[in-house]
Amino acid sequence: MSNLDGKIILITGAAKGMGATEAKMAVERGATVILSDIIEDQLEATADSLDSAFSRLDVTSKDDWEKTISQILDDHGRIDGLVNNAGIFIQKTLFDDAQEAFEAMAKVNQLGTYLGIECIAPIMRDQESGSIVNISSVAGLRGQRNIGYVASKFAVTGMTKAIALQLAKFNVRCNSVHPGAISTDMALGLGPSDVELLTNKTPMGRIGEPEEVAEAVMFLLSDAASYLTGAEITVDGGFIL
């Protein structure tokens, strides 16, 4: 079990689903967690259930990032971990007049992740410690039909490696996690036939649970992963095999 005692961790997209599971697990392992999202009512309810702080944060807004980070530094003086978990999936293909969907996914999944890194990396550099965990996808490692989603998640994979190179000498790590089909609203919203198809394509013969992804995230946030940076951790039941 990864120990997070005393660590200050910010998680985006934490109102529900995988982000909420990551927040719960981090709290249980001793971290002080700040939950963030744009779904304000659910964010507050989730944070209250964990006795944790929360901040409304639109990851595409640099002003929101700066306000949230400023409050965390005022309250705690440091940030030890960032989980760039916020993301969206819009089911479009190249032939579906998909420009609007492409731009929306690029804005949240790619720009949102970049802004988190841009705002928090200097803090971690100056304190000479920290871990950034970017939630990509198996779609950030292999081709799939949804060009917008694939493009945004490949971007997250690439940004992870670029920032890992820049921050390694400052003892700051950056890694990406690549879930396959996970039992969240995003996957289940595809519909029963698509979920069945994903299950059949997964060698382990099932979709994963949010807790199984969260375990990988906890490890990367912890000191147990102190020599791991720029890595791609797949949590996919063998899907990309």
Domains, the chain: 8-235 (3.40.50.720)
Looking at residue 97, its pLDDT comes to 66
For the cut 90, the answer to whether the pLDDT of residue 227 exceeds it is yes
Looking at residue 36, its pLDDT comes to 98
The pLDDT tens digits of the residues spanning 47-90 come to 999 999 999 999 999 999 999 999 999 999 999 999 999 999 99
For the cut 70, the answer to whether the pLDDT of residue 191 exceeds it is no
Please list, in sequence order, all residues whose beta carbon lies within 8 angstroms of the beta carbon of residue 82, skipping any fewer than 6 positions away: 9, 10, 11, 116, 117, 120, 130, 131, 132, 133
Looking at residue 68, its pLDDT comes to 98
Tell me the average pLDDT across 153-164.
Answer: 98
Tell me the average pLDDT across 8-25.
Answer: 97
Q: Are 35 and 52 in contact (CB under 8 A)?
A: yes
Q: Are 35 and 46 in contact (CB under 8 A)?
A: yes
> Where residue 232 falls among pLDDT bands split at 50, 70, 90?
very high
Looking at residue 186, its pLDDT comes to 64
The pLDDT tens digits of the residues spanning 135-149 come to 999 999 888 888 999
Is there a catalytic annotation at residue 114?
no
φ, ψ (nearest 5 deg) of residue 106: -65, -40
Q: Please give the single-letter amino acid code of residue 21.
A: T
Alpha-carbon span 144 to 141, nearest angstrom: 9
Tell me the average pLDDT across 36-40.
Answer: 97
Looking at residue 1, its pLDDT comes to 60
User: Looking at beta carbons, which pairs linking 161-166 to residues 24 or more positions away fall under 8 Å?
Assistant: 161/230, 163/117, 163/121, 163/132, 164/229, 164/230, 165/230, 166/121
Tell me the average pLDDT across 35-42.
Answer: 97
For the cut 90, the answer to whether the pLDDT of residue 198 exceeds it is no
Active-site residue, from 102, 149, 154, 219: 149
> Where residue 114 falls among pLDDT bands split at 50, 70, 90?
very high
Average pLDDT for the chain: 93
Tell me the average pLDDT across 119-148.
Answer: 94
